[in-house]
Amino acid sequence: MRADDPREHSRAEYPAETRTWAIEEYEKSHHNYGSRAECVAALAIAVGAHENTVARWIKQQFGSSRSPAADEMIARLRAAEAENERLRRENRTLTERLANHGPRSYTGEAFGPRSLGAAAL
């Protein structure tokens, strides 16, 4: 846009303390909100700034909202590893129970000549 364009708006200037406060508050309280946008909206109201301004500060400090934080990734990884271990234990238990209850394949010998399985063969 040209400098004399009436649609041109100057960007509001905020003291460094305001930006620092918003970033610190985000860091302390973002887990209390359902999304980054909700937390940013609350902070924008608190400092009297536009949501986009606060969102830009947060993005510059913490990166894109679509990429999870490092501590969140560590927590997800640990949860996935625990779930894998639980599933492996359950799989071992089921495999042992199945092995204790007879043959692993269904053949004519397993059921005898009068069984439905033998008739289908």
pLDDT digits (tens, 9 = 90+) for 94-113: 999 988 886 655 555 555 55
Do 49 and 81 lie in a common domain? no
Q: How far apart are CA 119 and CA 121, in angstroms?
A: 5
Do 56 and 76 lie in a common domain? no
Do 55 and 23 lie in a common domain? yes
1 is a domain residue:
no
Q: How far apart are CA 52 and CA 14, in angstroms?
A: 13
Q: How far apart are CA 50 and CA 94, in angstroms?
A: 57
Domain count, the chain: 2
Query: Whole domain around residue 70: which residue ranges?
Result: 66-99
70 is a domain residue:
yes
pLDDT digits (tens, 9 = 90+) for 2-35: 556 666 667 778 999 999 999 999 999 999 998 8
Do 54 and 19 lie in a common domain? yes
Q: Give the predicted TM-score (pTM) of the model.
A: 0.48
Do 48 and 86 lie in a common domain? no
Do 24 and 56 lie in a common domain? yes
7 is a domain residue:
no
Q: How far apart are CA 25 and CA 31, in angstroms?
A: 11
Do 56 and 80 lie in a common domain? no
Do 79 and 53 lie in a common domain? no
Contacts 24+ apart (CB under 8 A), 48-51: 49/12, 49/14, 49/18, 49/22, 50/12
Q: How far is CA 25 from CA 2, 43, 64, 84, 93, in A?
A: 37, 8, 18, 36, 48
